[in-house]
Amino acid sequence: MSPNVPLALAGAAEVLRLPDDALLYLRQDRAAELSLEPGSVLVAGQEIVGFEHDTSYAQIDCRGAAVVPGFVDCHTHLPFAGWRANEYAQKLAGVSYAEIARNGGGIRSSSAAFAAASDEDVLAQARVSAAEMLRHGTTKVEFKSGYGLSVEAELRALALADTLGERVIQDTAVTALLAHAVPDGYSADSWMDQVETMLPSVMNETDAGGLDIFVESLAFDNDHLTRMGALAAKYKVPLRAHVEQLATHGSVPVGISAGARSLDHLSCMPLSDIPALAAAECAAVLLPGAEFMNAEQTAPGRALADAGAICVLATDFNPGTSPILSLPLIAGLAARLYGFSVKELLLALTLNPAWVLQSSDHLGALALGRQADVLVLDGPTAQLPYRLGHNPVALVVKAGRIVWVREDQAWRVPKYLQPLDGHEVTTEKAR
């Protein structure tokens, strides 16, 4: 990690700015109002302090580059144990996810792997993934429980998520996905009773800042979504919900009525529900990695954007349906699947996901006084969706410190400012 000295990210070809620095989110039909003009960004302490050129600051050479806010990934399933490549082979042979799940795969497979792994093994795997995420520009990331499938194991998962947050460079948020699958020996109703019983421990003993539920024929239904919304309201935390992923269940209006802050997936969302979601203060979190890897239907991303929804892109990083952790790759998929423009992609990777995680007052934008989580991309933003599979991140500034520099981009940074371990990510948080 570099010394904490004032930085001038100088002479960029593009600097991403909001039309109004006070915005906490921006509806997708206004994405064209974002600006991408040449300029510089000044950083002092942990904050952005200016946009003029100032030679008294340490100079980071941003010629030909784009300077954008750090990416925010508001939907992942870290921490988890192991992988499920064998299931992907089954999918390629035509076996559906539902069939795999009914035969003990899917979430139950990851639950068994999680139970068999030691805490340190789970954390070691997750830290490697988080470090790779950072190299691809993710400076804030959400963690979930959900692979426990018992009261004790869900509490363990949340405790591990808390510990993981202390061991990675990124800012983190923890969501209690307590209704992910129905554990053996329970009905969906009786498991929701257990969820209600465990919530005092979840809220008092962990850092969980939200509740989540998976609404699907092989999991929970809309009545359970309504019940989870009531629990979220009782504990004054946001409601998140996986809905309309594999089939249509009419969950969007139910989720909105339940007070959801975000509805995630939406692959099978009826077009008739678009106006309600577009009018709501509820984000549409689109997960094109899952749609691609799981051969799902394509969410109506273009229609949601045109209608003015709060659109968000996330990885859904998990060992089964979306083992993808790169938000630049997600952006490339979203451009093709939804027809998103570059500005729409950048909005859905920065400000809007920060709003989902209740942090857009200090993250998600290049604005005076906001935390200096900043990326320098190795070319113009037009290359973000175009160079599919390429990591465009040249360097990462986290809370005012340079925490990673790509080896071929080291010429941009004075040697004394380069991370002390060469070009590798450290595992100490920026202080």
pLDDT in tens, the chain (431 residues): 667 899 999 999 999 999 999 999 999 999 999 999 999 999 999 999 999 999 999 999 999 999 999 999 999 999 999 999 999 999 999 998 889 988 889 999 999 999 999 999 999 999 999 999 999 999 999 999 999 999 999 999 999 999 999 999 999 999 999 999 999 999 999 999 999 999 999 999 999 999 999 999 989 999 999 999 999 999 999 999 999 999 999 999 999 999 999 999 999 999 999 999 999 999 999 999 999 999 999 999 999 999 999 999 999 999 999 999 999 999 999 999 999 999 999 999 999 999 999 999 999 999 999 999 999 999 999 999 999 999 999 999 999 999 999 999 999 999 999 886 544 444 445 43
Which residues on adjacent β-strands are paired with residue 16? Answer: 36
Q: Determine the pLDDT at residue 422.
A: 44
Q: Determine the pLDDT at residue 7.
A: 98
Q: Which of 350, 355, 383, 379 is nearest to 366 (CA)?
A: 350
pTM, 2 dp: 0.97
CATH fold of 72-356 reads TIM Barrel (3.20.20)
- Give 220-224 contacts, CB < 8 A, sequence gap 24+: 220/179, 220/182, 220/188, 220/192, 221/188, 221/249, 222/249, 222/250, 222/251, 222/254, 224/179, 224/188, 224/189, 224/192
**Does the fold of domain 72-356 match that of domain 7-69+361-417?**
no
User: Can you read off the two tokens belonging to residue 328?
Assistant: 């630049």
Q: Spell out the domain ranges in the chain.
A: 7-69+361-417, 72-356
CATH architecture for segment(s) 7-69+361-417:
Roll (2.30)
Residue with structure tokens 């002479």? 11
CA–CA distance from 263 to each of 62, 157, 244 (Å)?
Answer: 37, 23, 9
